[in-house]
Structure 1
Amino acid sequence: MHAPITVTPARLPELLLAVATVRPVFLWGQPGIGKSSLVEQFAAALGMECVSLLGTQLAPEDLIGVPTIQDGLSCFCPPAVVARPEPYVLFLDELNASSHEVQKSFYSLILEGRLGEYRLPAGSVVVGAGNRAQDSAIVRPMSSALVNRMVHLHLVASPRDWLQWAAGAGIHPWVVDYVRARPDHLVSPAPKTEEPFSTPRSWHVLSDVLTSLGPDVSEDDVRTVALGCVSPVHARQFTASVALLRHAYDLDAILKGNLRWPADPAQRDVLYFLAQSLRARLGKELPRQRRGGSAESQALAHRAKGLLTELAEISLEVAQLVVAGGGEDGDGGDGQGLPAWFLSEVVRDLPRLAAARA
């Protein structure tokens, strides 16, 4: 399903209130970004019960019901989980993962709010949800007849929304600090192989595990549980970020000159994380055109060139990753690369700065 326009979690309740109350809605989005939770929260906000049906666990007869004889005529008794007297929110989770026979069983329910002789109570809301084919999840193509019965919204994770939610949800401070520093790591593409990957749900899982392990958890255990919850690259950098917190390393302190790059080979993961954080900071705060930069951005560029010189003395490879991107984390995590004017100045000024230090 093509997604020309996407919706963030913060905007979804307003859209559902306007759209889902008049027409069935289908939410598209990768696994673990909170589709189910958002629908449940929407139902709670309406003061209605949320009844979830999992498409992958249904057979057609689970919806159609079983036949009985009434007044000499056969009729189907709809399942009690659906046939309710009061209006409610019917959530059809993993609808596009169900078999085609099950999908066909939903036609009249989605279009007319009807199952056989039973009709959903007036005011009921129908919301479907499913993953996308590119997410390596179990999906089946929906027929055009089913697609045409719903309004389609494409949900994407928003680091800002997630951090606002995390502030009141008891998320472990290490996880909050990491996502705040690397919001681009909140979500990673689903891998083609069977390994963990990063989503809002997997970060929540890691938070729960860290809370259970307690504040004295060892660095080895942090690495072990992180690798079991989020993507391998993010797990290693998360472990490094925890080491930063415990050893009082901080990128802002390094930028201000209060701390130096960690030079101990045993802290190479910490060095790598700090370097990638510097690249992300530069990609975010430096203007695309030098002429439009503020005094603060120019000061940041000047300081960064000096720090790159110092970094190259410790590890030329890590310094090159800051400038060129690449490595395990793709483009360094900034998503847009460094401005061309800054890269030109780095090439021009670094030899001079290195000579001055020598």
Structure 2
Amino acid sequence: MTEALNQLAAADELLAATRATRVERRDNVQLEALALAVSANLPVLLWGEPGIGKSSALQQLADRLAVPMETVIASIHEPSDFAGLPVVGDDPATQGVPMAPPDWAVRLTRSGIGLVFFDELSSAPPAVQAALLRVVLERRVGSLELPPGVRVVAAANPPASAADGWHLSPPLANRFVHLHWTHDPEVVARGLAGTWPTADIPRIDPRRAASALARARGTLSGFLTARPGLSHHMPSDAEARGGAWPSPRTWEMALRLLTFALASDATREALATALVGAIGDGAGLEFITYLEELDLPDPNRVLADPGAFALPERGDRQLAFLTAVVSAVQSNPSRPRWEAAWTVLAKAVDAGVPDVAARAATDLAAMRDKSWPVPPTIDAFVDILRLSGAMGR
């Protein structure tokens, strides 16, 4: 018996040695896009064939962040496992009947931070997918609300590869950033030799963060003004509806991705991959091309010296720029910045395009503190502001 136990101990020791690996920082767009979306706290769905390392990549990310990860196999759960099971208390007529959450949700709530990983999502029947809607969107599991520090990631096999696979319902699919996971033979060979790639969460630069949201708002506003048909476009076939497509919800996800990328050291390739994963191939590629050609100046620098900039020539770029300037004032309002923004808007009037600045002027007028005097540059927008009611305010 002792000899057998010694042999098992030796086997366990050898087994542990086969699992011991190291990681290295290496350019990998898939991992970087995943890290960007997780940093922005957006739900992510990894699509890929079985056995190519989706779960392992997420576990490595959790280890890198030093946060707990809870894995939930969606395909083997019932809807009540996500909606919660009713627990009758002492006086349900006055206290109601709370819905008890599962143990994994309780552990994550106690930790306050971590990753919840819903695996085999495409093998979950429609009733389970419907129950997951509230978890992904509202972050509620039964009567328990997941803390803000908990990130949601899922994985799915294409329906053709999944056991009893289903297409994702459009409401659930439209809540994820979809990343298509593939394997690189070189990465596999190096990993089996003992070293796997990893990615870091993008580092936020406080100096860039102040302008990132304003620039992102201006960029998306300019693009969707030029391409209004892309604000919402649900595909006609079931398979495409189960993936990424543009909607107001996914454009809001794109806004967050762009903001985090502009404020951090995230690569352009990672941003492009994540954007396509949020709003789909067609809208994503068109928006990325627009983004590369836009090159908006820093709105805070413009507000610091409003007389030293030149207005862009194209109308959509003018609108993007003016929207970014107004958004920058809104994020940090003060009388000097507010007056500087009116100087910027006046340049649009001088350039012969007051209609482009009209919407920005209305928003800017609504920010005025009652103690701030009306600047003379507002004269060009008096009629527009009177019609909108902003003059009275």
TM-score calculated relative to the size of structure 1: 0.43
Q: Determine which structure has the larger helix proportion and give its number.
A: 2
The higher relative CO (CA closer than 8 Å, separation ≥ 6) is in 2
TM-score calculated relative to the size of structure 2: 0.39
